[in-house]
Structures are given as structure tokens and as C-alpha cells.
């Protein structure tokens, strides 16, 4: 079982995301949040896919794209650190990532399929980690962080954005 990290192992703003994760077992949390996200995204009416709740905000599809892109980066970081890689990793500009794909026409179903694929990869990567790998501290975006923290952050980030869609877009 991959238990939740101690809050002092991560930046203080991670606490919000960690608290969104109901399970004390990361593998269960990854699977259940994937299942919940699939069901939730499938319930969104097609006419809401390109909806923005305010000027300058992302569409529902762009929020899902952001969840996917961020998890890809998180699992890459976790993988590197789980292999005891000490090379600091750069941050990323989430808005630039969304801007870069604005001309690509993809459906909500396309994005959901991609989300599931990325999440399944995340699950596979975490299945291979030992305790030492989970607790190795690397540096990403100038922040010392462990794969254990990154895994819980990925789930919390996913749940946070699903909540935002539910509350502000629907």
C-alpha cells in the first residue's frame, strides 16, 4: 500500500490537493479517481464541451487537456525521481501548453480516452516503485518533492479540476 505522505514532505499548497484524496492507498485512489472521472466526463452534455464560464477561462475540453498534460508531467517527474535521478527538472507554463493545442480539433471523448491511457500509465509506473523509490526526494520547478507526494498531487489535482467543472461549468 502506498500511503499518503506527511504534509511536511511537500510545499504547503499541496495540502489542499492531498486532502481531496479520500483514500489512504495511492493505487486505490488512482483507480477510483480514474473511474469517477470517466463517469463524470461521459455525463457532460456535448454542448458544454466548449463552454467557458467567464472570459479568459478555459473550456471544459481545455480543463481536461490540462489535467492530462499535468499528469503526464507529474508521472515523468515521479518516474525520474523513482530512479534516484538527482538532476533538477524544470517547471512548465500550463497556459502555454493549452495555447499550443488550440488549433487541434479533438472531442471530449478523444480527451477522455487519452486521460484513461495516461492514468493507466501512471498506475503502471507506480506499481514498480519500492518504498525507497517512493520517498526519494528530487527537485522539480525548484521544489524538493518525492514520487509519493507527486502521486497524491496527481489524484488531488484531477479531483480539484473535476470539482471546478462541476461547480462552475455545469
CA distances, 4 to each of 12, 42, 153 (Å): 15, 29, 10
Q: Tell me the backbone φ, ψ of residue 127, rounded to 5 degrees.
A: -60, -25
Q: Tens of pLDDT along 74-133?
A: 999 999 999 999 999 999 999 999 999 988 889 999 999 999 999 999 999 999 999 999
Instruction: Read off the pLDDT band of 162 (50, 70, 90).
Output: very high
Q: How high is the pLDDT of residue 81?
A: 98
Q: What is the model's pTM?
A: 0.96
Q: How high is the pLDDT of residue 73?
A: 98
For the chain, how long is the longest CA-to-CA vector?
47
Q: How high is the pLDDT of residue 56?
A: 93
Q: Tens of pLDDT along 16-39?
A: 999 999 999 999 999 999 999 999
Beta bridge partners of residue 144, listed in sequence order:
139
Would you call 139 helix, strand, or coil by DSSP? strand
Instruction: Domains for the chain: give ranges and CATH numbers.
Output: 25-40+59-169 (1.20.120.450)
- Pairing state between β 143-145 and 138-140: antiparallel
DSSP 158: H
Q: Tens of pLDDT along 52-82?
A: 999 999 999 999 999 999 999 999 999 999 9
Is-contact 115 72, C-beta < 8 A? Answer: no
H helices present in 1-130, as ranges = 14-20, 26-42, 60-82, 94-100, 108-127
State mean pLDDT over 9-13: 92
Q: How high is the pLDDT of residue 146?
A: 98
Q: How high is the pLDDT of residue 61?
A: 97
C-alpha radius of gyration, the chain, whole number: 16
Q: How high is the pLDDT of residue 141?
A: 96
Task: Give yes or no for residue 12 having a pLDDT over 90.
Answer: yes
Amino acid at each position: 500500500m502506498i500511503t499518503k505522505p506527511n504534509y511536511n514532505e511537500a510545499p504547503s499548497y499541496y495540502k489542499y490537493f492531498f486532502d481531496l484524496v479520500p483514500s489512504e492507498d495511492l493505487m486505490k485512489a488512482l483507480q477510483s479517481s480514474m473511474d469517477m472521472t470517466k463517469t463524470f466526463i461521459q455525463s457532460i452534455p456535448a454542448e458544454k464541451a466548449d463552454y467557458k464560464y467567464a472570459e479568459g477561462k478555459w473550456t471544459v475540453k481545455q480543463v481536461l487537456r490540462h489535467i492530462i498534460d499535468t499528469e503526464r508531467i507529474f508521472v515523468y517527474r515521479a518516474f525520474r525521481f523513482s530512479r534516484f535521478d538527482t538532476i533538477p527538472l524544470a517547471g512548465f507554463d500550463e497556459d502555454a501548453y493549452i495555447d499550443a493545442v488550440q488549433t487541434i480539433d479533438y472531442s471530449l471523448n478523444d480527451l477522455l480516452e487519452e486521460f484513461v491511457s495516461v492514468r493507466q500509465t501512471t498506475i503502471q509506473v507506480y506499481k514498480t516503485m519500492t518504498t525507497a523509490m517512493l520517498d526519494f526526494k528530487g527537485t522539480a520547478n525548484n521544489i524538493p518533492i518525492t514520487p509519493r507526494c507527486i502521486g497524491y498531487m496527481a489524484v488531488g489535482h484531477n479531483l480539484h479540476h473535476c470539482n471546478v467543472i462541476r461547480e462552475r461549468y455545469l
